[in-house]
Amino acid sequence: MSEALIVIDVQNDFCPGGALAVAGGDEIVPLVNQLISAFENVVMTQDWHPQGHSSFASSHAGKEAFSTVEMPYGPQTLWPDHCVQGTAGALFHRDLIWTRANLVVRKGFRDAIDSYSAFRENDHTTPTGLAGYLRERGISKLTMAGLATDFCVAYSALDARAEGFDVTVRLDACRAIDLGGSLDTMLAKMREAGVTLA
């Protein structure tokens, strides 16, 4: 009971054919489902952006997707419009057994700030409430899987470690965007923070 599985953003827009498709994103679904069936405590995260979110390139005149802008909280990668609230792209992959989740954490719903991590928004200050939920449930050990390894999974793992949780990332149940070497960078950061990469 002291362990939980955190499944990060296995949503249509991050799978092939989606607005921000991660190569092979759908390939992890069978393994993620096996993990879900093996854990009593399961938490899902769901990117949940309003129309015109500040992290969308379309919200910044003359800016291209995957370029970077400076936000009040620091540098922000600009993305294609994705996981817009209530759209098919924001839904979980149809084969994901997400109904076994005890909790679904929606993130990125504030207009002016993005949220990669399941624990904190990109200002590294505003909490999602997940840490408190896990502590109240007596959970101290986390296994993470999902999309994408080098963004939402990695930031979630780093913030979980900063909150004092024991964290394992199942790399076989993740896929990466790898934007300009971001995968190697984030793998190194996770190792340095004491995240177990399995």
- Residues β-bridged to residue 196: 168
Catalytic choice (9, 13, 150, 159): 9
- Which two structure tokens, joined as six digits, stand for 195? 């995240």
Q: What are phi and psi of 166, to 5 degrees?
A: -85, 125
Catalytic choice (81, 107, 114, 159): 107
Catalytic choice (150, 152, 159, 174): 152
- Which two structure tokens, joined as six digits, stand for 29? 């679904």
Collapse the DSSP code of 63 into the 3-class scheme (helix H, G, I; strand E, B; otherwise coil) and give the result. Answer: coil
Beta strand pairing status for 141-147 and 103-107?
unpaired
**Annotated catalytic residue 83:** no
**Annotated catalytic residue 107:** yes
**Annotated catalytic residue 9:** yes
Distance CA 119, CA 167 (A): 13
Which residues are known catalytic residues? Answer: 9, 107, 152
